[in-house]
Every structure is written in structure tokens, then in C-alpha cells.
Structure 1
């Protein structure tokens, strides 16, 4: 790449990065604006409630002045920031409520924003800060009362109002704490349920692994041994072993290896089938030829660094397609395997010229269903249907992540 082309490419990448960052910043700004609008709307509702309590306050107390309205609404305005600065909002609402009480205004107005601030503070995990703020506020409120005999009616009424107000505050704090405890219990219950489900799945997976080992492993081993004995006897008699017999011997060995790999996957939840991928495609095609299916393979493009799940899925799709050709296409059918690599996808296509009817839809057997599930799990596309000119076609497009594509282009 020339220096000028490299400069143009860097400039283009810089423009894309700038646009991406601008879009991201715009989304975050819009999200923040929606959050502020929601908080402001809630604060406005609380403010209306405070105004209502002030307008409906009983007579006989100091008349309302400008300070009464300021103290009555200060806590509501502060609620706009209750999610971002819960402790600061708690201090503001507590100070407004105490100052309102010290002035002797009719009780009730600043209590509502105080309750909201208490709930948000407890939900935020600041229980100690709430306890200190509540005790200091109560001490200041009680310390402001005149020194009157305990039996005095005015003092008793003032004490009742103070403790009633702080009783509401404590009740709100207890409600928030109980809700937090309830949510924690639900989370623990869900976690235990997930652990039990995982444990059951692990036990079932191990059971299947044992069943496969006790049944298929024995049967495949017998096939492999018998095929080996037949090959040995043919050579001992000076005869060339039939190609079909050699194919049985090789296929049984591959089946045993793949079964061991499958058992490894079943016994290890995070394991993968080892040694299964498109690098073994020539062996797979050669084994198909040995079983009597004329098969060819063509590869286009440079092989990138494939993710293990994509590599494994592509191999299994070709494997199942070749198996279907041997079973259903007829004895004279030939098959062509095409693999195409691109930076963003891998395409595998298997065509045969067998006896499939172009007018009949394919029967959804276990093999085709398994292929569709593999492709769908990777976000790809699968086309499996008879060809107009005769025969059958399986085509799977498997997308690659960006990182994989970049790696592939660099190699």
C-alpha cells in the first residue's frame, strides 16, 4: 500500500471513529435527558402534593410567608437529583423539614420529599448515613422545643407531632430495607434454581456419556476389529483388500475418534470436539471416495483464522451432506464439495447429481434438522433443496466476527 493510500485509509478510519463516537455520545445524551425529564416529572408531582398540604393546613399557626414556601418546596426540587446524589438530597430534605418545624409552620409539607429521599438512600445502600442524618435531625428538632413541664398540653402536642413525623421516616426506611431483603431473597432463590438446573443438566449429560460409551464404543470397536481382521486375512492370502472394506476400516477408526471427542464434550461442559474442523476436509472427502462415492473438493479464497464453533459446524455440515449422498442419492451419484472463504463469512456447498426429485421438497430428517440448528445458532443461513437440473444441494453461509475476519485478512 502506498503512503498516500495509507493516509487516505487512516483519514477514513478517523472519520468513521468520529461518527461512531458522535452517535454514541448523542445516544447517551438522549438517555440522560430522558432520565432527567423522568426525575423532574416525579419531583413536580411531589411538589404539587406539598403545595396541597400547605393550602389545606389548619389555622392557628404562624402565617405562611416566603420562607414557608421555600422550605416547603426545597425538598421537592432536590428530588430531581435523588438517583445521582441520594445522600445530598437526604441532607437537603432533612434540613428543610427540621427548619420548617423550627419555624412552627403547620406540619406535613416537607415530610413527603423526606420520605422519598429516605427510600432512595436506603435503596442505595447508605443505611449508616441515613441513621446518622435521622438522629441528628431528631436531636435538633427536639432540642428546639421550649422548656415546659412534661404535662403541658403544648409541649405534649409538639412532641407528638415530632415523633409522628420521624415515625413516618423510620417506617419508610424499614419498608425500603424489607424490600431490599426481599429482592435479595428472590435473587438467591433464582441463583439456587439456576444451580439446580445446571446440576441436573450436568447429571443428564454424564448419563448420556455413559450410555454412549457402554453401547456405541463397544459396537464401533467390534466393527473396527472385524474389518481389520478381514483386511489382514485378504493380505495374507495375497489378495488386495476390497476398497469398501478399507473404507469400513478407516471409517470405524474415525468414528471411534469422533465418539471419544463427543464423550469429552459431554463430560466437560466447557469442552469442544477436538480435532474436528475444515482442516480435515481432505480426509473426509477421501473417505467418501473409499466408500464408493465419487467426490471432489474445491476451495476458494484464503483460509482465515476461524472460530472453533464455525470451523466445527462447517465440517459437520459437509460430513452430514456426504452421508446423505451415500444413503439417498443413488449408486452412480457424484458429489462436489465447495468451500469459499471471505473476510466476513465461510460458505460451504455440497452438490450431487443423484436421484432427488426437483419437484419434491426435502423431507426434514434428523440430519437436516441438525444442520439447520447449527447454522441458526451461529446466525447464518442454510439452503437445502433439490436442484432444478437434478440432484440435491446443501449450501450454508456462516458469518465470521469482525475480529476473525481481520485475522483472516492478515494471514
Structure 2
């Protein structure tokens, strides 16, 4: 920039006086030296902008006071003033603008009194130029600096908000996974302690269920943490593992149910397999979300092993749900069943999942036997997290007691077809009772 200004000054200086009336003093060696000094100030403008502005303004005032004509050297002052306004504090920038304006105006006055400016009109134009090149660039630079600072602050707030949202999402995932798994483990441990002396084979079944539940929970937590660290979306980079069948050794011998308040004896695991076999067969093998409704058979089996019969009815193309909707639907069912295990004196649970072209509807209801009034339950972190999940997707979730007793959770989640996961269902996408 220094070389450009020097070339501009030196090449155009001989013609400045020819185009101005009255005629000014021709640029001589002294004038060229002053112009070179103004251009040289651009070398250190970025490091010492305020001092360069003062020096350039003083040199410009000297040029004008000596009777040299107006020229593009005022542009150098404007560029430096822009840097001062952009990099300095308001008070410092205001002081620099005032100093530059005074020095340039002093040169205009000296030129007028020495007879180089004819009449008050020329003096007014000169003082206006001093104000224009002394103040306006500094103000413009200050506005640019404030805009950049505001934009940086907005980006920082956006980043902080994204971090907070990610932490909230992570907390919800951990709450749902750990809360459900610990509920299953607690109930199975109670069963094992109750039948340990009389039926050790039943205790073995409960302990094996505890082991599998813990392994599944750890695997899901590892996958969630891995995706969070990598900053990826809720999709696994490897193919999902198929739902493993119940091991043969988990099948207990038929036995009468235990009387309250002792934990219930788990029913034979053949019933959940019969109810959920069709679901597994309809799922496509190329789906890759972290988790979703494809794991519902395993979830139902866990709950039924705790002595609570569950029936699931599905309809619509469940296989084509987007990953975020699929995950939210599964978490709603999972947390609803967790609340049943923790709080409800329940004999049965029904689950209805309906997928249409624009939304997925989930309804989970538990019914006590015999019917009884449902106690008032204050909403905890689980229901709050489920409502937040639904609202983030543009849906809604309601939860409350049923008329005949029990508790019902209902959610409507809109489907965003812009980000589908998987492909069309190979099994036809039909639903039915599971």
C-alpha cells in the first residue's frame, strides 16, 4: 500500500495545481518529501495507527499551509482513520479523529490567510474536507469494529447454546438408558433374592437377565458417548446387531405367581417371542441409527420377564422413520415402561404405534387389575425429557391418569421426510399386533 500511494502521489502531483482555481504553489522537492513521508506512514499503520494518524494529519496540514494544492494524500489519512476506528476504543478513536480534524483545518486556515484560498467559500469547502477526512473514516471504522465484535459474540453465544443443547441431549440419553436398565436390574434382583433358597433355577434366570441388561446398557452408553465425541448425528457407522433370541436356559419352569408384596415370578419368555417375532422379521437389515423401534422386541421381553405382560400393536411403515423420530419414539416407549416398573401396580400394559405419511403416534397405557384410582404423580425428569424430545421435533406429548385407573402417555411426532433413514421396507411395511 505504501508503494501504491507513493506512485499515486508522485505521478499525479504535477497536475494537481492545473485543475484547481486559484492556482496553488507547484509541488517541488519539499512537497515531494512531505508526500513521501505521508506514504511511508502506511508501513506502520497496523501497529501504531493512532500515532500514524496524528503524523499524517500534521503533514497534510503542513502541505496545505505551505500552499500546495489539494490532492489524493487525504485518502491516506482516511485509510489510517479507518484503522484507528476499527482497532481502538471509543475515547481513543474520538481523540484521534478530533486531532486529525484540527490539524487539517489548521492547514486550511493557514492556506486561506496566506492567500491561496480565495474567499470564504473556498475556506468553507476546505474545513468541510477536514471534517470529512478526519472524522468520517474514524466513525466508519468504529462501526465496523463494533459489528465484528457483535458478530463474534453472537457466534460465541451460538456455540455455547449448541454445547448446552448437546449436554442436555446427552443427559436425556443417559437418563433414559441408565434409568430403565437400573429399574430392570432392581426388579430382577428382588426376584432372585426372593426365590434364591426355594428355586435356585429361577434365581439363575434373574441373574442372567441382570447380566444381559447391564451389557446392553453399557453397549448403548458406549455408542452414545462415541457419537457425541465424534460430533456425528445419531447414526452408527457399523451395522446394527440383530436382536438376539432368548437363550434356552432362560426358560423357567411353570410356577404359580407369588403373592404380594413379594416380587412376581417372571412368566415364560415364549410369550414375548410370539408377540414380537413379526416385528423383527419386518425390520430392514440396512438401518443404521443408534437405536430405535427395532429394539422394541428386546425391550418388551425385558419388561415381561419382570412379570408385567405387555402387548404392542403397530401399523404403518415403521421401517422408513427418520433416525431422530425413530429414536424419540423408542425413548418414549422405554421411559413409559420404566415409569410403569417403578410406580404402577399394574397387571398389563398396551402399546400402540401408528405411522402415517406425516406423523407417528405413540400411546402407552397401563391398567391395574382390579381397576383402581390412580394416585397423583408429579412429573419428574423422565416425563420432562420426553416432552422436550417431542417439542424439539415439532410434536407434542401428554401424560395423565386414565378414567378407569392407570396411566397413559400419548405422543404425536411429525415425520421429516427430508432426512430419511434406511430405504423402503422390504417386508411391505405392514403393521399388526405384536
TM-score by length of structure 1 reads 0.49
Tell me which protein shows more helix as a share of its residues: 1
Flag the structure with more relative contact order, 1 or 2, with Cα contacts below 8 A and sequence separation at least 6: 2
